[in-house]
Amino acid sequence: MEYFYKTYEECRNRFRNVANELSSNYNNARVGKIKVDSMIDPDLTVDWLYIPAQQQPRKLLVLTSGLHGIEGFTGSAIQLMFIDRILSRLSLEELGVVFIHGLNPYGFKYFRKVTENNVDLNRNCVINPRLYQSINAGYSKMSNLLIPKGELSIDKLQYRFFHLNAIYKIIKESLPILRQAALQGQYEYERGIYYGGKRLEPQLAALEPLLRTLFEDYQSILSVDLHTGYGKRGKMHLFLNPINDEKVLAGLDYVLDGEKINWGSDADFYTINGEYLEWMGQLANEKLCIPIRFEYGTLDSQKTLGALKSIQIMISENQGAQFGFKDQKSKDRVMQDFLDMYYPSTVAWRSKVLTDSSIKMSKIMNRFLEYEVAGADQRKAIASITTQK
Ligand SMILES: [Zn+2]
């Protein structure tokens, strides 16, 4: 359990120490931080470590934690585990690695999923700014249910029961179109859940030129984004927006080697606008950028009861954050539920997450390094012919 901490600062300190130590072991490694301005806190940073390929740059791994702030505790633990157990066994002759730690430091530190502007970063990653002006009519139809007004009180259980039942009917049973509308992201209700913002959030705007520059040196990129809260408890899910690009699909297929993917377009799932991994694919331009989003399940949200509980917790936490809590008891209860949903405290859950990640990520890295081996051989053959002349 050595990788799991209770506060943002502890996670960040550990990451910084490890990053500084590592950077002195490799040629031209760099550490850095992006300061995120805040109305309440002068010490919020996205920290990063870049170790370039040590000989011939070909492939780049980008491993991101804390895009959804509170999910950063587990993401940070996985990054630390990856550095300890996997990185040292990888050859960095052709492989470069970037670790992005705590992409949403405000949410990380204050136990929220969203940024200080109530923005869900996984709805905010927009290349075409017209998306920020888009209207989500389905969301509007449900806005009273999705954004209840007034102080949150846990004593009003009766009310919440009916309220949630209504949402559940709409989302799960009656109208899949509306479920999609509720979850895909919205750009009108700044106090609502799944709000994508009006412009790129500052840390993404700062990250963009850095990523573009790093990508220039490599031929292909594997981008892994770490999340918690969705799916079967203790299970490591692979969750992706649909992909049309055949080159990306082929790469993904090879790298995953038969691992099951939950596609957002499947019957019980949903697609997302403004997604981080899609944005990164666009920053990579013509290069191959293979996206992988890991979700570590906590509440069995694939089942009826878990789905109901998940949305209840999300709506309640947001209501408290927007309109306040009626009393301390209500606040404690909701915050504890929120923490249990995104950062379970049991040893069983945490060790399962680490073990599964260690096995699957080792395998994925080996496959990624192998991929296009034929291409490399061909290049060697061409090179030797050229030399023989
Ligand atoms: Zn997430």
pLDDT digits (tens, 9 = 90+) for 219-245: 999 999 999 998 899 999 999 998 999
CB contact at 8 A, 133 and 187: yes
Whether 332 and 211 share a structural domain: no
Contacts of 183 (CB under 8 A, 6+ apart): 194, 270, 272
Q: How many beta carbons lie within 10 A of that of residue 17, not counting itself?
A: 10
Q: Are residues 225 and 282 in the same domain?
A: yes
Ligand 1 geometric centre to CA of 168 (Å): 21
Percent pLDDT > 70 in the chain is 89
Which is more confident, 94 or 230? Answer: 94
In this structure, the answer to whether residues 61 and 35 fall within a common structural domain is yes
65 C-alpha to ligand 1 centroid (Å): 10
Domain identity same for 158 and 86: no
Structure confidence at residue 158 (pLDDT) = 52
**Tokens encoding 86:** 């996997």
Cα of 94 vs centre of ligand 1, distance in Å, is 31
- Total domains in the chain come to 2
Mean pLDDT of 38-53: 98
Q: Is residue 213 part of a domain?
A: yes
Least confident of 59-68, 145-154, 219-228, 368-377: 368-377
Q: How far apart are CA 136 and CA 177, in angstroms?
A: 11
Residue 3 lies in a domain: no
170 and 236 belong to one structural domain? no
Residue 388 is predicted with a pLDDT of: 44
Q: Are residues 167 and 279 in the same domain?
A: no
- Are both 293 and 333 inside the same structural domain? no
Query: Are 220 and 365 in the same domain?
Result: yes
For 235-252, b/e burial (b = at least 16 CB within 10 A) is bbbbbbbebeeeebeebb
User: What pTM was estimated for this model as a whole?
Assistant: 0.92
Claim to verify: residue 280 and residue 309 sit in the same structural domain: no
- Mean pLDDT for the stretch of residues 39-54: 98
Q: How many Å lie between the centroid of ligand 1 and the Cα of residue 85?
A: 24
Domain-embedded: residue 258: yes
- CA 387 to ligand 1 centroid distance, Å: 51
Are 118 and 196 in contact by the 8 Å Cβ rule? The answer is: no
How much is the pLDDT for 71? 98
The answer to whether the CB of 291 falls within 8 A of the CB of 278 is yes
The mean per-residue pLDDT over the stretch 20-38 comes to 97
User: Residue 229 C-alpha to ligand 1 middle, in angstroms?
Assistant: 7
> What is the mean predicted confidence (pLDDT) over 95-105?
98
Lowest mean pLDDT: which of 81-95, 240-254, 263-277, 364-378? 364-378
Q: How far is the CA of 378 from the centre of ligand 1 (A)?
A: 40
Do 252 and 290 fall within a single domain? Answer: yes
Domain boundaries, position 254: 8-126+195-298+344-388
Query: Rg of the Cα trace of the chain?
Result: 21
Residues 113 and 148 in one domain: no
